[in-house]
Amino acid sequence: MKDSERRKPMTTKPHDTRSVDDAQREEGEPTAVVFDIQRFSVHDGPGIRTTVFFKGCPLHCAWCQNPESISRTPQLMLYPQRCIGCGKCLPACPELDPDNLPEGAFRPETCRNCGLCAKVCPSEARQMAGRKMTVDAICQVALRDKPFYREQGGVTLGGGEPLAQWPVARAVADALRAQGVHVALDTACSVPRAVIEDVPAHIDLVLADLKLVTPDKHRQWTGADNTRILESIRLLSGAMPGRLWISIPLIPGVQDEEELKRMADFLRGLENPPPVRVLEFHRLGESKYEALGLPPPDFSGNAALPKQAATDILATHGLQLMET
Ligand code: SF4
Ligand code: SF4
């Protein structure tokens, strides 16, 4: 075969360049973009749970361990070490280089995240993070493990920010609760007040993140103002007594003793002070940054406050600490 013929694209079907919102409007049935559904999770609420990860988040936390969760648009993730050089991705994409395998099978500058190449990759060297799912499709997966949930467990809606896709997340919660499944919501709370006001009627337990209370620091580390977050936590504490947990991600160099005291003061001043979980920073998300072609966050040079010291500060200031 001549070189010019080999290079000719044999695209299996036209690239879908529609945005997620356009596609939803055209296809009618409401869908959410979900990037993972994790079964047998034991850290996302009480008991054994299935966690549904909704894609898209209004915050840009410098330490994010799920970088594929930030954009709501499905994204191509590449794991070159898994490539077996089979060339099956080449016909899917005119942008890939058949004369330079395996390197030529990786992300071209012009990648539009259409996902056609990932569909045919046999080794998961190419994967798409994010797919549109209907309420029924999400519930079908979530209900597979219902016998394991028993009294305590259930389903957690997380992300990303599940409240950024609240109409579908709420419909999922309603459908699962109608079947007797306990539904928790893991949220960063940076959403409009009207959305937060709607939560207590549809969700059994809220796991709300509190990263920083000092406004400048919050802007510095997450790229967003925290006024709405603090207001949301206040509202939920009043509306959901006994049904709100606070999660504090402890990040090296981000919260010092002074900041933790301020956070404790804020939480103790709520109408129903909620129990608090301190979550330690880990580096498990680094390979995902590489797969997306992004530099991973580097907190290695930052002084880390030990978890025990942090929990002691919070407990001394009158908060109820939970085991994690
Ligand atoms: S996801 Fe990117 S590399 Fe893959 S077929 Fe689409 S445009 Fe080509
Ligand atoms: S289909 Fe997957 S394994 Fe085969 S060449 Fe492409 S990236 Fe490598």
Number of structural domains (the chain) is: 2
Instruction: Let me know: does 73 contact 35? Beta carbons within 8 Å.
Output: no
Residue nearest ligand 2's atom 2 by CA? 121
Q: Tell me, yes or no, whether 64 and 191 share the same domain.
A: yes
Q: Tell me, yes or no, whether 38 and 114 share the same domain.
A: no
Q: Tell me, yes or no, whether 95 and 162 share the same domain.
A: no
**115 CA closest ligand 1 atom index:** 1
Q: Tell me, yes or no, whether 216 and 109 share the same domain.
A: no
- Residue 285 CB–ligand 2 contact under 6 Å: no
1: in domain:
no
Per-residue pLDDT at 16: 46
Does pLDDT of 164 surpass 90? yes
Instruction: Let me know: does 289 contact 296? Beta carbons within 8 Å.
Output: yes
Tens of pLDDT, residues 65-100: 999 999 999 999 999 999 999 999 999 999 999 888
Residue nearest ligand 1's atom 8 by CA? 93
Tens of pLDDT, residues 22-59: 555 555 789 999 999 999 999 999 999 999 999 999 99
Q: Tell me, yes or no, whether 92 and 150 share the same domain.
A: no
The kind and range of the H/E element at 309 are: helix 307-316
91: in domain:
yes
Residue where a domain terminates, one of 110, 128, 146: 128
Tens of pLDDT, residues 253-290: 999 999 999 999 999 999 999 999 999 988 778 899 99
24: in domain:
no
Q: Tell me, yes or no, whether 183 and 197 share the same domain.
A: yes
Per-residue pLDDT at 284: 79
- Mutational test site, ligand 2, from 83, 95, 101, 120, max ligand atoms within 8 Å of CB: 83
123: in domain:
yes
CA distances from 59 to 153, 197, 316, 319 (A): 28, 20, 30, 26
Q: Tell me, yes or no, whether 56 and 110 share the same domain.
A: no
Q: Tell me, yes or no, whether 98 and 190 share the same domain.
A: no
256: in domain:
yes
Q: From CA 284, how far away is CA 197, in angstroms rounded? A: 34
Does pLDDT of 2 surpass 80? no
Query: Which CATH number goes with the domain that contains 155?
Result: 3.20.20.70
Tens of pLDDT, residues 295-320: 998 888 788 889 999 999 999 999 99
Q: Which residues are CB-contacts of 308 (< 8 A; sequence separation ≥ 6)? A: none
Tens of pLDDT, residues 210-251: 999 999 999 999 999 999 999 999 999 999 999 999 999 999
13: in domain:
no
4: in domain:
no
Q: Tell me, yes or no, whether 148 and 113 share the same domain.
A: no
Per-residue pLDDT at 300: 81
Q: Compute, in angstroms, the gap from residue 69 CA to the centroid of ligand 1.
A: 19
Q: Tell me, yes or no, whether 156 and 241 share the same domain.
A: yes
Q: Tell me, yes or no, whether 140 and 117 share the same domain.
A: no
Does pLDDT of 14 surpass 70? no
Per-residue pLDDT at 167: 97
**124 CA closest ligand 2 atom index:** 2
Helix-strand-coil percent breakdown of the chain, rounded to 5? 35, 20, 45
7: in domain:
no
Q: Compute, in angstroms, the gap from residue 111 CA to the centroid of ligand 1.
A: 5
**117 CA closest ligand 2 atom index:** 1
- Residue 235 CB–ligand 2 contact under 6 Å: no
Q: Tell me, yes or no, whether 215 and 237 share the same domain.
A: yes
- Residue 263 CB–ligand 1 contact under 6 Å: no
Q: Quickly tell me which residue has 């620091």 as its tokens.
A: 217
Residue where a domain terminates, one of 92, 110, 128: 128
Q: Compute, in angstroms, the gap from residue 296 CA to the centroid of ligand 2.
A: 24
Domain around 81: 75-128
Per-residue pLDDT at 27: 59
Q: Compute, in angstroms, the gap from residue 63 CA to the centroid of ligand 1.
A: 28
Residue where a domain terminates, one of 128, 144, 169: 128
Other Cβ atoms closer than 10 A to 261: 15
Query: Which CATH number goes with the domain that contains 113?
Result: 3.30.70.20
Of the ligands numbered here, which is closest to the C-alpha atom of 76?
1
